[in-house]
Amino acid sequence: MRLLTGRIRPYAWGSRTAIARLQGRPVPSEGPEAELWLGAHPGDPATVDGTSLTDLIAAEPERVLGGAVVARFGPRLPYLMKLLAAAAPLSLQAHPDAEQARERFAAGHPSYVDAYHKPEMLVAVSDFEALCGFRDPAASAAELSTLDAPALKPVLAALAAGDLRAAMADLIALPSAVVAEAAAAPDAPDLVRRLAAAYPGDPGVLVALLLNHVTLAPGEAIWMPAGNLHAYLEGTGVEIMAASDNVLRGGLTPKHVDVAELLRVLRFEVLADPVVPAEPVSPGIVTWRTPAAEFTLHRVRPSAGAVELAVTGPRVVLCLAGELAVDDGAGAVELATGQAAFAAAGSGALTIFGAGEAYVASVPA
């Protein structure tokens, strides 16, 4: 078991308090801190004793990852864990499936930065507000109709027919002046007003009304498979995903937007219940079930004595509260709040003890 030092991404929507406070640094931080990356993604790999985890894997993939992981995913850590801290809304986005990613990356499509898909799950650490998946078209129509905008008539007709594809295509193509006028309507929903204040004239302001608007309590999660349109609005959470950075954005961002490709990969189906509850595994341990082949995520709270988590392979452990000791059979490390550790595949099951809370990422057996 070895200490792992993550990398902070300073996106503009990030918090200046959440990650800094967690790590015991001065608050507010000098700039926004949006994500703490804990993995081996080449975009910003974490380090072990000053050496990139990517380089450690490249030097000894079988020892670090294990033969089964290498055989299935190649010599790469197949997941990426993040601590995400959103102080402002961030991009309306979706991710491609595995076949789409391979094909479009091989073809040199500019919106694809690697050949991998990116299913992901976010577990709330604080109350966490998000938009996730298309909701019942009738509910969307009811809110959009309060805007009393003639330009929305085709959208309302599409929703009445249950045609999410047409409604989405019409909304996201609206001119900024039309969006701004609709968002300024006296009866505009609070969500529309808030998003319009952050991104005036952005069509994503109205597209948001097509989606489930959820507020997660700590410990609740949302699962975002390929083609699921979503956006984070505010809060802190632990995010785990397949190790990719393929993001197709449609709005609510100053970053590159590719509406045509986003519409191509979206799944236009209603997501009735986007919230994934925690499931007990054993005393002090819970998990969140997803069909992801690349990752599992457990939360461990050793209230009394030691807790054994019987997961093997390459594992990342993040301490989010208190002080913990983690032993993988090859050596123990002590973690304070905000610190992380890495266990290679060759070591044994994890034993965690102390007073605190840890999130553990691993590859499913």
For residue 174, is it within any domain?
A: no
Same domain, 287 and 266: no
Domain boundary among 255, 276, 297: 276
Same domain, 315 and 331: yes
Count Cα atoms within 13 angstroms, Cβ side, for 150.
Answer: 0
Domain boundary among 237, 257, 276: 276
Query: What single DSSP character describes residue 30?
Result: S
- Annotation: binding site for Zn(2+): 93, 95, 120, 230
For residue 147, is it within any domain?
A: no
Same domain, 250 and 284: no
For residue 171, is it within any domain?
A: no
Domain boundary among 227, 257, 276: 276
For residue 155, is it within any domain?
A: no
Same domain, 345 and 224: no
For residue 156, is it within any domain?
A: no
Q: What share of the chain is helix, strand, coil (3-state, %, to 5)?
A: 25, 35, 40
Could you give the number of structural domains in the chain?
A: 2
Distance CA 197, CA 235 (A): 18
Q: What's the whole-model pTM score? A: 0.96
Distance CA 75, CA 54 (A): 10
* Per-residue pLDDT, 346: 87
Paired tokens of 224: 């975002």
Same domain, 245 and 320: no
Whether cis (ω within 30° of 0) applies to the bond prior to 32 is: no
For residue 111, is it within any domain?
A: yes
Same domain, 76 and 17: yes
Same domain, 232 and 307: no
Same domain, 220 and 294: no
Same domain, 347 and 221: no
301 a catalytic residue? no
Same domain, 324 and 252: no
* Per-residue pLDDT, 148: 84
21, 76, 194, 249: which is the annotated catalytic residue?
Answer: 249
Same domain, 45 and 98: yes
Distance CA 208, CA 133 (A): 10
> What string of pLDDT tens digits covers the 365 residues of the chain?
999 999 999 999 999 999 999 999 999 999 999 999 999 999 999 999 999 999 999 999 999 999 999 999 999 999 999 999 999 999 999 999 999 999 999 999 999 999 999 999 999 999 999 999 999 999 999 999 999 899 999 999 999 999 999 999 999 999 999 999 999 999 999 999 999 999 999 999 999 999 999 999 999 999 999 999 999 999 999 999 999 999 999 999 999 999 999 999 999 999 989 999 999 999 999 999 999 999 999 999 998 789 999 999 999 999 999 999 999 999 999 999 999 999 999 899 999 999 999 999 999 98
For residue 114, is it within any domain?
A: yes
pLDDT per position as a tens digit, 11-53: 999 999 999 999 999 999 999 999 999 999 999 999 999 999 9
What domain range is 352 assigned to? 279-362
What CATH number corresponds to the domain at position 336? Answer: 2.60.120.10
Distance CA 85, CA 300 (A): 21
Quick one: which H or E segment has residue 141?
helix 137-144
* Residue 91, beta-bridge partner list: none
Same domain, 32 and 126: yes
For residue 202, is it within any domain?
A: no
Residue the block writes with tokens 């007003």? 193
- Annotation: binding site: 93, 95, 120, 230
